[in-house]
Amino acid sequence: GDTIFGRILRGEIPCEAVYSDGLCLAFRDVAPQAPVHVLVIPRQPIARLADAGDEDQALLGHLMLVAAKVARQEGLEDFRLVVNSGAAAGQTVFHLHVHVLGGRPLAWPPG
């Protein structure tokens, strides 16, 4: 089904984009959990990481590389990537996304 990220990709609702290419879009999280909090999403709507298949290997690798590129672009040396897959893991928007978090010390384990 459609999600708020689908609407962002179609330009129906605004976002603060920080990176864009033919495969993905990166934009600032509307409720940032760290000084830098960016979401990297594929243009292709995969609901959850658990739904990705072997055919998505290159796309998933691309999302990781873009996440690292965005972190560098944001001036981060150290950063964390998070992918919540499924509601019990904290996923609220069912369009795959990689959280890029940084700009403060990040505790482990996460909540």
Hey, which residues are catalytic here? 97
Is 91 an interacting residue with respect to ligand AMP (CB under 6 A)? yes
Binder to ligand AMP among 15, 38, 71, 96 (CB under 6 A)? Answer: 15
> Distance (Å, rounded) from C-alpha 2 to C-alpha 10?
11
DSSP code at position 50:
G
Binder to ligand AMP among 3, 4, 56, 68 (CB under 6 A)? Answer: 4
If phi over 0 gives left and psi between -120 and 50 gives alpha, with beta otherwise, what is residue 75? left
**Amino acid at the residue 110:** P
Number of residues located near ligand AMP, criterion CB under 6 A = 12
- Please give the residue ranges that form the binding site for ligand AMP (CB under 6 A): 4, 13, 15, 29-31, 39, 84, 90-93
